[in-house]
Structure 1
Amino acid sequence: MYKNTFLVWEHIKQHATVYLFMIILFLTGIIFGAVIVNSMDFIQKQDLFFYLERFFVQITEGVSIEKKDIFWQSFIFHAKYLILLFVLGLSVIGLPLVWILLFVKGMVVGFSVGFIVNQLGLLEGLFLASLSIAPQNIIIIPVYITAGSLSMIFSLGLLNKLFSRRNNQQLLQPFIRYCIIFILLLILSLLAAFIEAYIANNAMEELIKSFY
């Protein structure tokens, strides 16, 4: 256990620049998403809020999506995203797409929170966002940042080995570790999907019913 913790810490220290870059990229996406909300005109906001309000009304009327459907939809979405990051890490030319995917994920989170706060007000908006968006994202955001960072690290490693012309067999062990870590990230995304479907969704429904 101690040895594994030490290895993880050494890995993070060795690639601290990559992880820092990915965190900054993700935070930039969040800020950009919030800016988009503020740059929207009144009509655009009202059109979006119309669909959000219909969703609220459906919840108050007892019409909601099955929890298991939310769970599987959420997990499949995360799995596709992670698999795409995994595949892009296997090719040097896919590295810019890794950056774009992580930026877009941050932008979606920033836009979602920003729009809810903008339409419902600071107190109610933050309260709803903290119950409906925050719980699963506490897990899934580090998962995406880790996945994007590992994808970038592996891709840069391939580039380095390509130019140094080392024996291809040296890629086997890093590739196995790469696969194992992504499997662990998929398991964590399964946990995030469970939290979203059975905890965050229930909390959101109860809060919306109290609002309306």
Structure 2
Amino acid sequence: MPKDLRMYSKDQLSLYVFVAMLFVTGVVFGAVLVQALTLEQKQEIARHLGHFFHTIDQGAEGDFSGKHSFLQALSLNLKWVGIIWIFGLSVIGLPLIFALDFIKGVLIGFSVGFMVGQFSWKGMLFALASIAPQNLVLIPVILTASVAAISFSIHLVKNRFIQRSGSIYPIFVKYSTTILTLALIVVVVSLFEAYVSPVIMKWVTPYLLALAGLPEMPVSLL
């Protein structure tokens, strides 16, 4: 393996390890954050979750329609990737990329931690059905976009202030192509999240309602 390629692979691996550690730290922080909630806050969130479970179980439409869910998921997921791409275009964006990776971990850690804390293994069952499937792909996409953005930002610093090794344009094209490829993957993930995840959740929700002992309530009250 050429020396430059070995150094590049080593640098990339180090960045992947770093952003992965940031993400995992965020997950842990999010799970711990659940314990900081007051009893009233936990009850309020649990009430909204109960409404959500019953809505899914009784097949209510409206906000949970496939097209609306797809556009909502696509918009949110593309914003993550797009913002990371923008932050990678400047040196000052580096800490913001780190913050995004940490925040993503916090959101997932808090969501899973709250459901497990409230419903024990039944909450874990619902988390595996509703959160895990799309995030098994989405999280690597976000981490890969972060590494690409960090690499480009570092190269930008070296090119402009240290080595001045010619045009940055080819590296920019490569960076943008990587982000565009990841964005296409996000489209597929959003389709899965909108059309497949609700079906999986609908299979799991009746078991969760029965095991968690949540009372039945009419859709008209939701």
Superposition TM-score, scaled by structure 2 size = 0.86
The 1-side partners of 2:95 and 2:31 are apart by: 23
Per-residue CA deviation, residues 80-108 of structure 1 (Å, 9 max, x unaligned), is 11111001100001111111111101110
Q: Which residue of 2 aligns with 1:179?
A: 176
CA distance in 2, matches of 1:167, 1:8: 18
What aligned pairs does 1:180-195 form with structure 2 within 5 A after superposition?
A: 180-195=177-192
Deviation at 1:41, TM superposition (A): 2.1
**Given residue 41 of structure 2, which amino acid in structure 1 is its aligned partner?**
Q
CA contact (8 A) 2:26 2:105 kept: yes
Once the two structures are superposed, the pairs formed by residues 49-128 of structure 1 within 5 Å of their partners are: 49-64=46-61, 65-121=64-120, 123-128=121-126
- How far apart are 1:36 and its partner, in Å? 0.3
Check conservation: 1:59, 1:208, Cα contact below 8 A: yes
Equivalent residue of 1:15, what SS? helix
Task: Say whether 1:201 aligns with 2:198.
Answer: yes
- State the Cα RMSD in Å: 1.9
Q: Where in structure 2 are there 5+ consecutive unaligned residues?
A: 210-222
Q: TM-score, normalised by structure 1?
A: 0.90
Pick the structure with more helix per residue: 1
8 A contact 1:117–1:125 mirrored in 2: yes
Measure the CA separation in 2 of the matches of 1:210 and 1:39. Answer: 29
Q: CA deviation at 1:125?
A: 1.2
Amino acid paired to 2:114: F
Residue correspondences, number: 204
**TM-superposed deviation, 1:57:** 1.9
- Which structure 2 residues correspond to residues 119-138 of structure 1 after superposition, within 5 A? 119-121=118-120, 123-138=121-136
Give CA-to-partner distance per residue, 1:143-200, whole Å, 9 cap, x none: 001111111111111111122251551x111111101100110011111112211222
